[in-house]
Amino acid sequence: MKRFVALALCIGVSASASAQVAPDPDDALKDDIVTAYRILVNEGILDSFGHVTARSNKDPNVFLMPQAMPPALVTKADILEVRVVDSQPVDPKGRRVNGERYIHGEIYKARLEVKAVIHSHSQAVIPLSLTPIKMKPVVAQAGFLPLETPNFEIREAREAGGRGMQVTDSNRGAALAKTLGPHPVVLMRGHGETVVGKSVKQSVVYAVYVDINAKMQTQALAVSPKIKSMNAPELFDEDEFDINRPWEHFRQKTLDPAAKAAIDRSQFGLTQTQEKR
């Protein structure tokens, strides 16, 4: 599952090299989206399906989403602009974005502070989503979770006579956003999860720890029904979790040996960085 990603090194060079065009305020954001895909494929969270999006820095009514394609192969050139209002591409250029883009659009509509959304079919959370047991925060690094994570039941959201498990229109997307509520994560029964954050980095780190938390809870429950989850004083305060360390760790795991050797080591351990653990 782990792959070296030589491509990561050459990202973001070409645009600035050519002359006098105004810099794209979404350029770094697109880099983060591509890195997010690399990380989430490498960590086994994205496979054939799943998608990462970010709200545009240029226009909060637009989000950035790759065309429909295998997650492992996404590059900046694949990223299109999509309208929050109706989840349709601003200019499709003859390309499609994913049929479940309504997940993203409706969450951006309902949660103005959300800057990034990840939808995945993670095998770590699906078993728990099938049971009547709620995911609870059990692992220290998952202190961003609420005391109970909601589990979206598509049957309650489907139109009369409706079919399928997918969130393929605005109504279903809005129902998912409602179940998500103010939380960073919503499980989706038999389907996977959707994670949101204030940045692509934050949502990626959250997605990885949602996976770990679900795995730990599931494995503990197979041993004993009486497991102890974290209580309110054990959850994170606003911005308490410095996500830079795990983001860097996950990112470095995707690098090829040459890119690894080129890591800027002077950044480590600086007293001014906010490193909490």
Stretch that binds its own copies, among 25-33, 107-115, 178-186, 264-272 (CB under 8 A): 264-272
Q: Kindly report the length of the chain.
A: 277
**HSE, side-chain direction, 13 A CA sphere, residue 36:** 32
Residues 6+ apart with CB under 8 A from 111: 177, 180, 182, 196
Tell which one of 147, 249, 258, 262 touches its own copies (CB under 8 A): 249
Stretch that binds its own copies, among 15-23, 108-116, 194-202, 245-253 (CB under 8 A): 245-253
180-199 binders of its own copies (CB under 8 A): 189-192
Least separation in angstroms between residue 164's CB and its own copies is 6
82-141 binders of its own copies (CB under 8 A): 92, 94-100, 121, 123, 126-128, 130-133, 138-141
8 binds its own copies (CB under 8 A): no
Burial 242-266 (b: 16+ CB within 10 A, else e): ebebbbeebbebbbeeebeeeeeee
The nearer residue to its own copies, 113 or 159, going by C-beta atoms, is 159
Contact between 138 and 230 under an 8 Å Cβ cutoff? The reply is yes
Tell which one of 9, 28, 73, 85 touches its own copies (CB under 8 A): 73
Least separation in angstroms between residue 112's CB and its own copies is 27
- The single-letter DSSP state of residue 134 is P
Please give the Cα distance from 43 to 200 (Å, whole number): 16
What is the token pair recorded at 45? 């969270």
10-39 binders of its own copies (CB under 8 A): none
